[in-house]
């Protein structure tokens, strides 16, 4: 883990902040490329990037507060202004709503721009998760003995603290991993807090790495095939909703978030996204295609009827 890359005088460069900046710049580049390809005003790229930046951070923080309401009540200012605790889905939903309102005011088609922007959300999310991995900010998963499982003793969120609720819910695992004895032994401190023997020894799923691989691969496949859907506005967006929903629904089973009726908030949102995307793919587009064919047949019938009438009058 490298939460802090280096210091230059009073300036500190954090790995998460660097990867967040790289994700924004990379997504902004692909956005400008796609706007030009579609013959749209490239200046819209800058405006959409600003919406994504501000709306993403605000929405992420809002949903994080809702998900950790108890922590917010205990320390409102600390939770509000902390750079930690950003929920991706919160940012994604707020950005999509803001983008819809912005495009409506500009009298532009939301689904067209959603087709352009949604794959870039996958890309940005995948790059951003590299920052989570480097920072060790608690986005890792549950304990694991897999060969690639990792320990995060120098992360910004120590596993002994982050896994506490997990072990409360799973007492058998608490005993199996010797949580109480190992977590009680202090082996050192860093700028982010106390390091226990549990933090050093116990390995967990590197969930950010899983998400990075999945999201960047999904982005590459969708981006490579996006031109096939140019005539079906909204289809890329619906595919991304399903893919993004499936990814987060599955990864949350090895994550460490609060549960509501057996699932995390992210999983409930994921299910909603999958249902919306699946409805669009299975019902909206086929019905729309059917209506276009029907209108075309009716138009041809009307033209034929007019020709017959003119022939009879002649």
Chain segment 27-45, per-residue pLDDT in tens: 999 999 999 999 888 888 8
CA distance 40 to 212: 30
How big is the CA angle at 85 (ends 211 and 201), to the nearest 5 degrees?
Answer: 65
What was the pLDDT predicted at 204?
97
Query: Is the pTM here over 0.75, yes or no?
Result: yes
What was the pLDDT predicted at 118?
92
Residues in the chain, pLDDT under 70: 63-64, 67-73, 75-87, 286-314
What was the pLDDT predicted at 141?
94
What was the pLDDT predicted at 313?
55
What was the pLDDT predicted at 82?
56
* Domain-wise residue ranges, the chain: 4-141+205-307, 143-204
């Amino acid at each position: 883990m490298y939460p802090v890359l280096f210091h230059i005088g009073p300036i500190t460069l954090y790995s998460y902040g660097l990867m967040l900046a790289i994700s924004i710049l990379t997504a902004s580049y692909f956005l400008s490329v796609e706007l030009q390809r579609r013959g749209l005003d490239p200046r819209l790229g800058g405006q959409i990037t600003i919406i994504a930046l501000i709306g993403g951070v605000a929405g992420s923080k809002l949903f994080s507060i809702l998900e950790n309401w108890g922590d917010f009540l205990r320390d409102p200012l600390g939770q509000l202004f902390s750079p930690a605790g950003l929920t991706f889905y919160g940012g994604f939903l707020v950005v999509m709503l803001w983008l819809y309102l912005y495009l409506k005011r500009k009298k532009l088609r939301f689904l067209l721009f959603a087709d352009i922007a949604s794959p870039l959300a996958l890309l940005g999310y995948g790059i951003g998760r590299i920052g989570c991995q480097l920072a060790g900010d608690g986005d890792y998963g549950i304990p694991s003995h897999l060969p690639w499982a990792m320990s995060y003793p120098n992360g910004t969120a120590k596993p002994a603290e982050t896994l506490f609720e997990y072990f409360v819910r799973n007492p058998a695992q608490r005993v199996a991993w010797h949580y109480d004895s190992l977590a009680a032994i202090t082996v050192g401190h860093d700028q982010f807090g106390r390091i226990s023997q549990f933090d050093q020894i116990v390995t967990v799923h590197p969930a950010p790495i899983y998400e990075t691989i999945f999201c960047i691969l999904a982005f590459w496949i969708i981006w490579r095939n996006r031109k096939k859907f140019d005539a079906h506005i909204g289809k890329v967006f619906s595919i991304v909703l399903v893919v993004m929903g499936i990814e987060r629904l599955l990864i949350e089973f090895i994550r460490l978030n609060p549960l509501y009726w057996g699932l995390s908030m992210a999983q409930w949102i994921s299910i909603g996204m999958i249902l919306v995307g699946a409805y669009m793919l299975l019902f909206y587009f086929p019905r729309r295609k059917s209506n276009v064919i029907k209108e075309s047949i009716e138009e041809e019938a009307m033209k034929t009827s007019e020709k017959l009438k003119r022939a009879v009058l002649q």
